Amino acid sequence: MLKKILPLGLAGLMLLSQCSPSQEKHENLTKEANINAVKNPIFNEFNHPISFSSISANHIPEATEITISNAKQALKQLLKIKSDSRTKENTLIALDNIYAGLGQHSGTMYLLSATSPDSLIRNNATDANKTLGDFYTELSLNEKLYNALKSFKNSENASILNEAEKKFLNDEIKSFERNGLGLDKNKKKELKAIKEKLNGLGLEFDKNIAEYKDFIIVSEEQTKGLSEEYKKARRQEDGTYKIGLSNPDYSPVLRYAESDELRKELFIKRQNIGGQKNLEVLDKMLKLRKQLANLLGYETYAAFKLSSKMAKDTKTVWEFENGLLDKATPKAKADIEELLEVKRAYKKDQNINSIEHWESAFYRNILLKEKYSVDQEKVKEYFEINNVIDGFFKITQNLFGVEYSQVENPDVWHSDVTMYEVKDNGKLIGRFYLDLHPRANKYNHAMCQGFIYARQTPKAYQIPNASLVCNFPQATADSPALMSHADVELFFHEFGHVLHQMLTEAQLFSQSGTKVDADFVEAPSQILENWAWEYESLELFAKHHETGETLPKEMFDKMLAAKNVGSGLYVTRQLFYGIIDMELHDRYDPNGSSSTTDVLKDVYERTMQYPFTEGIHTQAGFGHLNDYAANYYGYMWSNVFAADMFSRFANEGVLNAKTGKDYRDFILAKGSSKEAQEILKDFLGRKPKQDSFIKSLGI
């Protein structure tokens, strides 16, 4: 998952030394602000890494104040310029620089709020993004800025802009118009208040998920089926076991624990992450989003959000999701029947006629073993985490013509974190961090968080910085860190976002890296998952952690034969999330008598093949209802493009460097400097199609 931040995107801080020449004479930040910026470790020297270990909680409010002060000063100078004196540099680039300054600070704050071991830093970082979000709201309603852009668009100087610059200018004007510039003074004031409240509630929603704590204590008897390695890491002094809700705790229980009660209890706890606090926050957000959409002239919040996406409208999204549900449901029903056969045999009861949600992974694991001879624990032995990382590096370095080198003794926010430089023919073009293991108060899923985005400055090209934040098992003195094949896929996926940021060549902050349409942004990460299913790539790194033996082709063939076991259930689960998102933002009345849990149950029963489990509140921990609101459909939507793009590699060679170069040049390098449909057509040589996607799912 790509972690979203301010609506403007993330990254590149605009310090005074990075101003364009025509702006330098106008932008006079105070000496005090400049001195403080130099002293504050949050402000990195141009193209140098941020000194994360030097950051204290007190640095954050100071840096936030300086960042906003810089933005206000730059905006003041931009607005002073007379209409007939407007140029690309003093208007368009100046605005992009303002966004870059806000973006870098916001990205850094999101990273710290999600990963810092210091609670004061996390809290101050969350507060900082509330302040930044409020300032962005103010900026998005600035009529003088809107008029300045319109004035520039109608000038002779705008006629010489290149296509990317024209797109940025037009996108900004449309964004202002979508965000209420046509409203009267009182309605603008109301809109501003709504946006500020939503900004604060969104941050609260995320924080409640990140800091949610729950666990279960189980006896030795209840752990039957779990590995000794798993148990040893969770054994307490009294001989019981403490099992939390992070993925390394949760997934093995659902997959291997023989106790139905244990699996059910942990499942219910996991489906209540966020708790009552987030149910209340979500209610408030939905009411405010409805108000916001109506104020802007849209019937629903989904209609408002989709108007700027590839899909364009709610009708298109509903047709896509319902059409895919119709195609996937027969396969999902067949998947359940296959699991029922296993459960009946296991329980020695032919009258069983349902699979509970918390039983699915357990019986699927037995099915894989008995029918397909795939033992996931045996498969894990070939995916030691360092081998996986090294192998993925080999594959992508070859495909995209780059080199990664680990930095010794990096300045990072936690000792687990590693840092790498990306070079192209010896030239430094990017920097990424790996924060791969779970710990207390850390974001508990997987994401790529950018915090410095690439852009052209008068000094040089600003290189991007991003972090991969995951929760994979960590090696101990007694055992290596072994990844499930699903974890390997996840690592490949998330690193796809990193590559999207590292290999951009966009000239503007606002168009670089992952700052693309929200319903396209997952495609460049989803495509990378395919390399986890190609033996030609796996044999480069899938080595037994003890013997060094390469993953046997026979074992891989069995894995491949079983690849689409449960694919119908997978698709319907993704549609469950996508349809909940759309229901809440398009059809649900937040002021009516029904609740979000009523919606949850209704959608669950329409999409899933399991009985609904009373007492779950999945929506409270569904973080995408904040940062991907009315956009979760994009995960399946963008999968269509990912599968279609991979068809070129499938035909031309999965390690074909020429195809890799085309993909880098046509897709990754462009960011949003061209429309997504256009870059897809450039790479594919035709319009995208659904065929490869449907075939890949086996539905």
The enclosing H or E element of 456 equals strand 455-456
Question: Is 494 in the active site?
Answer: yes
Q: Compute the distance between CA of residue 280 and CA of residue 287 in angstroms, rounded to an integer.
A: 11
Residue 448 dihedral angles phi and psi, to the nearest 5°: -110, 125
Q: Distance between CA 166 and CA 36 in Å, rounded?
A: 36
Going by DSSP bridges, is the β-strand pair 427-435/465-469 parallel, antiparallel, or unpaired?
parallel
Tally of residues, the chain: 699
Supply angle C-alpha 10, 14, 18, rounded to 5: 135
Burial of 520 (0-12, 13-18, 19+ CB in 10 A): buried
Please report, for residues 53, 556, 638, the alpha-carbon distance to residue 65 in angstroms, rounded to integers and kept in the order given.
21, 55, 38
What's the per-residue H, E or C state across 316-383?
Answer: HHHHHHHHHHHHHHHHHHHHHHHHHHHHHHHHCCCCCCCCCHHHHHHHHHHHHHHCCCCCHHHHHCCC
Q: What count of other Cβ atoms lies within 10 Å of the Cβ of residue 534?
A: 19
> For 455, phi and psi rounded to 5 degrees?
-170, 160
Contact 469, 447 (CB under 8 A): yes
Crossing angle (nearest 10°) for helices 676-684 and 634-652: 20
The strand ranges marked E within 538-672 are none
Q: How many CA atoms lie within 13 A of 211 on its CB side?
A: 16
Judge contact between 16 and 640, C-beta under 8 A: no
The C-alpha atoms of residue 491 and residue 392 are separated, in whole angstroms, by 9
Instruction: State the Cα–Cα distance between residues 387 and 399, nearest whole angstrom.
Output: 18
Contacts of 380 (CB under 8 A, 6+ apart): 482, 483, 484, 485
- Using DSSP, how many helices (H) and how many strands (E) does the chain show? 28, 9
Q: Where are the alpha helices (DSSP H) in 10-58?
A: 21-24, 31-39
Exactly one of 494, 522, 529, 534 is catalytic; which is it? 494
Cβ-based neighbour number of residue 353 at 10 Å = 9
* 167 and 673 Cβ atoms separated by less than 8 Å: yes
- Which element (helix H / strand E) includes 393? helix 385-400
Q: Going by C-beta distance under 8 Å and a sequence separation of 6 or more, which residues neighbour residue 417?
A: 410, 433, 434, 435, 467
Amino acid at 326: D
C-alpha span between 346 and 391 (Å, rounded): 38
The single residue listed with the structure tokens 């949600």 is 357
Q: For 307, what's the count of Cα atoms within 13 Å in the CB-facing half-sphere?
A: 16
Q: Which amino acid is at 59?
A: H
- Whole-angstrom CA distances from 321 to 55, 222, 333 are 45, 40, 18
Residue positions annotated with a catalytic role: 494
